[in-house]
Chain A
Amino acid sequence: MSAPWFWIILPMVFAGILWLLRNNSKITGIVSMVLQAILAGLAALMPIGISTRIGPIPVEIASTLSILGRRLVLENADRSYLAFLFAVGALWALITMIIKPHRSVVPLQMVIISLLVAARAVEPFLFGAVLVEIAVLVSIPMLVPPGTRPGRGVLRYLIFQTLALPVILLAGWAFNIVQIYPENQAALARASIFLGLGFAFWLGVFPFYTWIPMLSEESHPVVNGFILSFLPFIFLMLGLDFLNGFVWLRQGTYLVSVLQVTGVLMIVTGGIWAAFQQTLVRMAAYALILDTGFLLLAISLQNQVGMETFAANWIPRQLSLILLAYGFSTLQQHGYSLSVAGVKGSGVKYPILTAAIALAFLSFTGLPLTGTFAIREPILGELSRQSIVMTVWALVGVAGLLVGLLRVLFAFFAFSGRDWRSGENWYEGLIFIAGMVLLLGAGLFPAEFFKGILNMLESFPNLP
């Protein structure tokens, strides 16, 4: 058996089985969660392409699977990334099983994860763009449940993701020309423009991110959270694959400037818009945009600190996203609307839930004691050595998000004269407390928490 069988074909097969069982959300949720947890564990423990023994039995998982003359390749260096991806997938399956957005979500989640893993594994890389587009098309029935009208956010999401496909494929063609004629400056510029535009559409880079807050407002928090959890992760990993594979791209003088300006623009606009939002979901969307800006800044540093902070950032980001999605859904289930005015007093009735939401928001600001503090501080430190102006602007963005968070906190704990009581049920309390402990743990013991995910960088041997 080869690695793509385990981490691409198997989830796809199970997605088909779960589709048949979709009327029973508990079974689909449990099967999806257990399978993804097993796949995460397998990725963490089993070497790929290296002979090992399970008891007396010699075992070797091959790295390559050939399909229709093309190759799907998952190497030993990809194990950390696979373990992380499927561990996060298992957590989303758990949340989906509890919240039950609608019955097709769990099988479609499995299909999307499988397609996204395949998108990064396929060789040549340009086929990955088509697989991503198919994943986007599969996500539409998840975002728009049967019987409901699609909102403008879903349509914009579909438009921008679809526009990325031709541009990325053209980038692949232009890259081939650059490899043949490396001195051709026009070809270099063409390839860079196509690639930059493609990733701008994919990631929702400024000014193409309007769909992110709109989608967050229209779709179910769990479904939307899942999409915003996995797509940017795979897109940025694909981006690093490009940087790792093409020396002229990573040594281009314009790359650092483009990434820094774009990153800071996303931080500033994301943070400032967050301060003025009237709904929690839109505020969370802008917080994510701000966080993506920091990820771009981390890549732009082009040194070991940048790469390590890039990798480490995914743990608090995904934890915060899961906590926010679960928190918003639970608030809705308890009868609250997700507007700032609508959650007034909820902190008094549901202190653990609201504390978890507040901590997840706080994590995006990078304040001390949160998981992102150990990540943001070195990024801003390195950035300040290169440009004080950009650093100040980045801090303005963070301050904007903090103002938004303060508004939410005031709303949560309004009417403080009432009796405090914990209205969460036992499993809600357990999940929120576990999430908060993990987020604070990442802030207090960053070295221990981020050690595992740093191995993800082994996939990019040519990057610092």
Chain B
Amino acid sequence: MSEWLYIIPVVILIGTTIILQISWNWRWSLIALAIQYLAVFWLISSVWNIGLAAVKLIVGLTAVALLGVLFPDTHHDIDEFRVGSPRAFQLVSAGLVISLAIVLSVSLGDWFPPAIPLRLGGLILIAMGLIQVGITTQPIRIILGLLTILSGFEVIYAAMVNSVLVTGLLAMVTVGMAMVGAYLSARFIREDEE
């Protein structure tokens, strides 16, 4: 019964990754990313205590906040920057990748010991993140994809290794990645060099 409870965040993850994949609206993408971190927290709380799992949530929301605050073109949608890629194609590719992740989550039981919901959630995030970084050349979308991949890895890894220091260092990587995303996407006024 309890395992079924953790299927709900997996369903949420499927939804958020699809939104991140097809959304052309920057605000919707950030909301999806925030909900994604909530679902990741839900999954990780099944194997860690709430306090440590909450670190992932807080760090994830910090990354979302950094991207939201530092990305300057909040009035513009992502479609302004995207290279043409029809939504239908993105939906089909997302469907195929999610199907593949479901199949792999069953067959890779020997490789990754976590329970099926964690394995499935993690693999969906990794696979959708890989698709995201593979089909775009826009820095901000690539950063969203990399954050998704890292979240997927953290879900799987949480069930295998419980280390406060690794959690802290991975938190630094997540926040650093968000800062790099904001830096790469921002149109900084060139500082007067030398």
Residue positions of A touching B, CB distance < 8 A: 23, 25, 68-70, 100, 102-103, 126-127, 130-131, 133-134, 137-138, 140-141, 144-148, 150, 152, 155, 158-159, 162-163, 165-166, 169-170, 173, 186, 190
Question: Bound complex: CA of A68 vs CA of B167, how far in Å?
Answer: 13
Which residues of the other chain, B, contact A68 by a CB distance below 8 angstroms? Answer: 165, 168
Looking at the complex, which of B9-17, B36-44, B68-76, B177-185 is the stretch in contact with chain A?
A: B177-185
B111 interface residue (CB < 8 Å to A)? yes
Looking at the complex, which of B45-53, B54-62, B99-107, B145-153 is the stretch in contact with chain A?
A: B145-153
A127 adjacent to B165 (CB under 8 Å): yes
Question: Bound complex: CA of A173 vs CA of B158, how far in Å?
Answer: 11
- Min C-beta distance of B85 to chain A, whole Å: 16
- Min C-beta distance of B179 to chain A, whole Å: 8
Binary interface encoding of chain B residues 148-180 relative to chain A, with 1 for a CB under 8 A from any of its CBs, else 0: 011001000100110001101110110011011
Which residues of the other chain, B, contact A140 by a CB distance below 8 angstroms? Answer: 180, 183-184
Q: Which of B150, B161, B165, B169 has the most CB of A within 10 A?
A: B169
A166 adjacent to B149 (CB under 8 Å): yes
Q: Write the chain A residue with the least CB distance to B183.
A: A141
Which residues of the other chain, A, contact B150 by a CB distance below 8 angstroms? Answer: 162, 165-166
- Min C-beta distance of A188 to chain B, whole Å: 13
B173 adjacent to A127 (CB under 8 Å): no
How many A-B residue contacts, CB cutoff 8 Å? 88
Known: A140-B180, A173-B157. A159 touches B173 (CB 8 A): no
A147 adjacent to B189 (CB under 8 Å): yes
Question: Bound complex: CA of A170 vs CA of B113, how far in Å?
Answer: 12
- Min C-beta distance of B163 to chain A, whole Å: 9
Question: Bound complex: CA of A169 vs CA of B165, how far in Å?
Answer: 13
Which residues of the other chain, B, contact A127 by a CB distance below 8 angstroms? Answer: 165-166, 169
Known: A146-B188, A159-B133. A103 touches B157 (CB 8 A): no
Which residues of the other chain, A, contact B189 by a CB distance below 8 angstroms? Answer: 146-147
A134 adjacent to B180 (CB under 8 Å): no
B180 adjacent to A170 (CB under 8 Å): no
Beyond the given pairs A137-B176, A140-B183, 8 more chain A to chain B contacts, judged by CB atoms under 8 angstroms and listed by A's residue number, are A70-B165, A100-B194, A102-B193, A137-B179, A140-B180, A146-B191, A147-B190, A170-B153
B184 adjacent to A150 (CB under 8 Å): yes
Question: Bound complex: CA of A163 vs CA of B129, how far in Å?
Answer: 11
Question: Bound complex: CA of A131 vs CA of B172, how far in Å?
Answer: 10
Residue positions of B touching A, CB distance < 8 A: 110-111, 126, 133, 137, 139, 142, 146, 149-150, 153, 157, 160-161, 165-166, 168-170, 172-173, 176-177, 179-180, 183-184, 187-191, 193-194
- Min C-beta distance of B14 to chain A, whole Å: 20
List 6 interface pairs A-B (beta carbons < 8 Å), by A numbering: A126-B166, A147-B187, A148-B190, A155-B137, A163-B149, A173-B157
A159 adjacent to B184 (CB under 8 Å): no
Which residues of the other chain, A, contact B176 by a CB distance below 8 angstroms? Answer: 134, 137-138
Which residues of the other chain, B, contact A138 by a CB distance below 8 angstroms? Answer: 176
Question: Bound complex: CA of A133 vs CA of B153, how far in Å?
Answer: 15
Which residues of the other chain, A, contact B161 by a CB distance below 8 angstroms? Answer: 169, 173
Q: Write the chain A residue with the least CB distance to B152.
A: A166
Which residue from A25, A144, A162 sits with its C-beta under 8 Å from B177?
A162
Known: A155-B137, A155-B139. A186 touches B110 (CB 8 A): yes
A134 adjacent to B172 (CB under 8 Å): yes
Known: A68-B165, A186-B110. A25 touches B194 (CB 8 A): yes
Known: A155-B137, A159-B146, A166-B150. A137 touches B191 (CB 8 A): no
Which residue from B110, B111, B165, B177 sits with its C-beta under 8 Å from A69?
B165
Q: Write the chain A residue with the least CB distance to B173.
A: A133
Question: Bound complex: CA of A141 vs CA of B179, how far in Å?
Answer: 10
- Min C-beta distance of B131 to chain A, whole Å: 12
Question: Bound complex: CA of A460 vs CA of B193, how far in Å?
Answer: 44
Q: Write the chain B residue with the least CB distance to A138.
A: B176
Question: Bound complex: CA of A60 vs CA of B172, how far in Å?
Answer: 34
Question: Bound complex: CA of A100 vs CA of B194, how far in Å?
Answer: 8
Q: Which of A25, A131, A148, A169 has the most CB of B within 10 A?
A: A169
A130 adjacent to B170 (CB under 8 Å): yes
B180 adjacent to A137 (CB under 8 Å): yes
Known: A100-B194, A140-B180, A169-B153. A158 touches B146 (CB 8 A): yes
Which residues of the other chain, A, contact B153 by a CB distance below 8 angstroms? Answer: 165-166, 169-170
Q: Write the chain A residue with the least CB distance to B112.
A: A170
Which residues of the other chain, A, contact B172 by a CB distance below 8 angstroms? Answer: 130, 134
Which residues of the other chain, A, contact B111 by a CB distance below 8 angstroms? Answer: 190
A137 adjacent to B165 (CB under 8 Å): no
A130 adjacent to B169 (CB under 8 Å): yes
Known: A158-B180, A162-B150, A166-B153. A152 touches B166 (CB 8 A): no
